[in-house]
């Protein structure tokens, strides 16, 4: 009975999205509604029990002829991993909605529609056990991201949105083609059924159709997660969205990356070279992301590339495919969601006060906004992996994992990239906060909204708490990985 909460995690934000976009005119009631729903989103996964939900109530059936169990309906699985990630996603959504509602006098229903729709589809991606359902929400998420970028009033946002959409319109049919191949070989879109068909050797692992579908879905995953060759467009998307929305966009990216990757692992880990491909693409993402971040002058773009580089760490951990390594990768994913959200919000505060994003024209902001400076400093240190913050914990785990798997090169690479991340961050912090203020720079709005400071404070508390006692997260993730994936 309690498992009715599972579909509600998706339905409540979606319903809220539809309502706010329909009643766009009433600004005040909409604001109250969205704040209430945004508070509910992180609470629901905490009170819901673990379990499985079959839509329409069609429980799995046993085929009387072949004796195989199959799932006739869309299935949602809720477990500790989903709980942790939906909770963090809910927190970030709440903070973003809170900032938005405080920042603008008149709330735009359409914009809030996009935010809630994105949260709802990211949640569904985490929960779903149905590969076509995954594809549908993956597409909705892509459209939502385009919408959020197009709604920002920044220079060049429409160009970036159209680029993302065109690349997506090539990437997603290719992914759908892969799903079609899987459907053709197994006759099912339920992942558990597909996995059992592979284990029972009903389909050959070496059949060309199966291998082809692996490659095609892999390409779709690259698009969804913004690994190379999509790293430029992904960082562009972050830099052309409003900063608080960018904080949410990177959460969507991380969630779609890990959820699709875990699904692919369950199906395709039997394919030769699959793990190697994941590791190689992640390593390239790390290198390209950080290298390009070092050469940027626009600080939003810089964080965008840093975020893409951090995605490489996640892929590296999950790609090594041991229990410890996958735990490390998922833990890194969680940490990245929190840290990057903090950085985007913090630099959003700088955009808010100065209206400037070029690092060459900024400087001396520490005396105006010491609180923001301190919080950004801590966030950057966490991203670079400085103890005792959470980034340190996950990166240490990753390095240990790659050492114990017999790949010291990858550990070295991870360390070098972490150091380069630190360089990017120190450079950015120096040019924005420490060096003397250029004469041309005008601080137009000196008072920051309280909501921004509040949001950053909450995220910072999470960073420190997870950094000091990582066991609250890693123990659960490790159990999930050991019990379900391997």
Partner 1 sequence: MAYTQLAVLLTSGLLVIIGLFAAIFIDNIIKKVIGISFIEEGVNLFIIAIGYKTGGVVPILIPGMDKSWFATNAAYPLPFGLVLSSIVIGASSLAVMFAIVMVLYKKYGTLKTSVMLADHSHGSVNDE
Partner 2 sequence: MKLYDKFFNVAKRFKQIFTSGSVTNSEVSGILTAELLLIVSIILLVVLIRHVNILLCGVMTLLVAIILIANMPLIPKFKVEQEDSLNKMLFYSIITLSIIIIFIYWGGNFV
| Contact between residue 24 and residue 108 where contact means Cβ atoms under 8 Å apart | yes
x/- letters, 261..300, toward partner 1 (CB under 8 A): ----------------------------------------
Q: Does 412 bind partner 2 (CB under 8 A)?
A: yes
251 in Cβ contact with 122 (< 8 Å): yes
Among 18, 177, 294, 351, binds partner 2 (CB under 8 A): 294
Of residues 266, 254, 256, 268, the one with CA closest to residue 178: 268
By CB under 8 A, residue 212 contacts partner 1: no
By CB under 8 A, tell whether 143 contacts partner 1: yes
Least separation in angstroms between residue 72's CB and partner 1 is: 10
| DSSP 8-state assignment for residue 430 | I
Judged by CB under 8 A, does residue 215 bind partner 2? Answer: yes
Q: Least separation, in Å, of the C-beta of 233 and partner 1?
A: 11
The span from the CA of 289 to the CA of 234, in Å, is 10
- State the minimum distance, in angstroms, from the CB of residue 187 to partner 1: 7
Strands 61-62 and 75-78: unpaired
- Check residue 452 and give left, alpha or beta (phi > 0: left; psi -120 to 50: alpha): alpha
Interface mask toward partner 2 for 164-183; x: CB under 8 A: --xx--xx--x---------
Question: What is the closest distance, in whole angstroms, from the C-beta atom of residue 171 to partner 1 in the complex?
Answer: 10
What whole-number distance in Å separates Cα of residue 231 and Cα of residue 296? 14
Stretch that binds partner 2, among 9-17, 258-266, 406-414, 475-483 (CB under 8 A): 406-414
Is 161 among the residues that bind partner 1 (CB under 8 A)? yes
How near is the Cβ of 179 to partner 2 at its closest, in Å? 16
Q: CA-based Rg of the chain, rounded to a whole angstrom?
A: 22
Burial of 246 (0-12, 13-18, 19+ CB in 10 A): buried
Q: Strand, coil or helix: what is 104?
A: coil
CB-neighbour burial class of residue 66 (10 A; exposed 0-12, middle 13-18, buried 19+): exposed
Angle at CA of residue 348, ends 347 and 351, nearest 5°:
90
* Interaction residues for partner 1, span 352-381 (CB under 8 A): none
Binding residue (CB under 8 A) for partner 2 from 4, 58, 272, 472: 272
Helical residues (DSSP H) of 385-470, grouped into ranges: 390-404, 408-429, 450-468
Q: Give the C-alpha separation, 331 to 170, whole Å.
A: 31
Nearer residue to partner 2 within complex by CB, 79 or 291: 291
Nearer to partner 2, 119 or 185 (CB): 185
In the complex, what is the shortest distance from the CB of residue 295 to partner 1, in angstroms, rounded to a whole number? Answer: 12
Instruction: Give how far Cα 247 sits from Cα of 254, 262, 370, Å.
Output: 11, 23, 22
> Least distance in Å: CB of 461 to partner 1?
37
**What is d(CA 167, CA 146) in angstroms, rounded to the nearest whole number?**
11
**Residues 235, 307 contacting (CB under 8 angstroms):** yes
| Contacted by 412, from partner 2, partner 1, none: CB < 5 to 8 Å by type | partner 2
Residue (416 or 486) nearer to partner 2, CB: 416
170 binds partner 1 (CB under 8 A): yes
Distances (CA, A) of 211 to 207, 215, 223, 259, 264: 6, 6, 19, 20, 12
Q: From CA 463, how far away is CA 382, in angstroms rounded?
A: 8
Query: Can you read off the two tokens belonging to residue 169?
Result: 């319109």
Does position 42 interact with partner 2 (CB under 8 A)? The reply is no
H/E element, 215: helix 208-225
7 contributes a contact to partner 2 by CB under 8 A? no
- Write the interaction track for partner 1 spanning residues 103-142; mark x where CB under 8 A is met and - where it is not: -----------------------------x--xx--xx-x
Minimum CB distance to partner 1 smaller for 110 or for 471: 110
Give dist(CA 102, CA 469) in Å, integer.
33
Question: Which chain residues interact with partner 2 by CB under 8 A?
Answer: 160, 163, 166-167, 170-171, 174, 205-206, 208, 211-212, 214-216, 218-219, 222-223, 228-230, 232-233, 236, 271-274, 277, 280, 283-284, 286-288, 290-292, 294-295, 297, 360, 407, 409-410, 412-413, 416-417, 420, 423-424, 427, 430-431
Question: Which chain residues interact with partner 1 by CB under 8 A?
Answer: 132, 135-136, 139-140, 142-143, 146-147, 150, 156, 158-159, 161-163, 165-166, 168-170, 173-174, 176-177, 180, 183-184, 187-189
């Amino acid at each position: 009975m309690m498992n009715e909460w599972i579909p509600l995690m998706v339905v409540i934000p979606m319903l809220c999205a539809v309502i706010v976009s329909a009643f766009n005119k009433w600004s005040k009631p909409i604001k109250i509604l969205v704040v209430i729903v945004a508070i509910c989103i992180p609470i629901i996964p905490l009170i819901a029990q673990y379990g499985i939900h079959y839509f329409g109530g069609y429980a799995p059936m046993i085929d009387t002829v072949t004796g195989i169990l199959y799932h006739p309906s869309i299935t949602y699985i809720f477990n500790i991993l989903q709980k942790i990630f939906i909770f963090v996603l809910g927190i970030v959504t709440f903070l973003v909605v809170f900032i938005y509602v405080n920042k603008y006098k008149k709330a735009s229903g359409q914009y809030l529609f996009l935010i809630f729709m994105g949260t709802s589809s990211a949640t569904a991606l985490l929960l779903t056990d149905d590969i076509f359902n995954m594809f549908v929400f993956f597409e909705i998420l892509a459209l939502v991201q385009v919408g959020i970028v197009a709604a920002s009033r920044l220079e060049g946002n429409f160009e970036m949105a159209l680029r993302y959409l065109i690349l997506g319109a090539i990437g997603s049919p290719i992914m759908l083609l892969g799903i079609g191949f899987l459907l053709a070989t197994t006759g099912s879109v339920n992942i558990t059924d597909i996995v059992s068909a592979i284990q029972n050797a009903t389909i050959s692992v070496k059949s060309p159709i199966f291998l082809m579908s692996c490659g095609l879905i892999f390409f779709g995953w690259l698009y969804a997660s913004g690994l190379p060759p999509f790293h430029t467009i992904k960082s562009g998307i972050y830099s052309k969205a409003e900063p608080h929305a960018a904080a949410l966009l990177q959460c969507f990216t991380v969630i779609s990356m890990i959820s699709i990757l875990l699904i692919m692992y369950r199906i395709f880990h039997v394919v030769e070279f699959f793990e190697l491909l994941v590791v190689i693409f992640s390593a390239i993402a790390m290198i390209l992301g950080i290298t390009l971040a070092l050469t940027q002058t626009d600080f939003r773009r810089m964080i965008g590339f840093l975020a893409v580089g951090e995605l490489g760490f996640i892929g590296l951990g999950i790609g090594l495919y041991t229990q410890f390594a996958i735990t490390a990768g998922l833990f890194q994913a969680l940490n990245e969601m929190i840290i990057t959200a903090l950085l985007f919000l913090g630099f959003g505060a700088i955009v808010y006060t100065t209206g400037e994003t070029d690092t060459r024209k900024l400087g001396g902001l520490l005396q105006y906004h010491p609180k923001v400076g301190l919080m950004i400093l801590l966030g950057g240190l966490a991203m670079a992996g400085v103890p005792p913050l959470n980034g340190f914990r996950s990166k240490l785990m990753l390095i240990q994992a790659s050492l114990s798997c017999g790949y010291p090169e990858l550990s070295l690479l991870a360390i070098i990239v972490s150091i380069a991340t630190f360089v990017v961050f120190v450079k950015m912090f120096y040019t924005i906060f420490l060096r003397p203020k250029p004469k041309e720079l005008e601080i137009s709005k000196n008072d920051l909204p309280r909501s921004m400071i509040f949001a950053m404070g909450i995220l910072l508390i999470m960073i420190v708490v997870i950094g000091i006692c990582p066991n609250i997260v890693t123990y659960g993730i490790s159990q999930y990985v050991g019990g379900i994936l391997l």
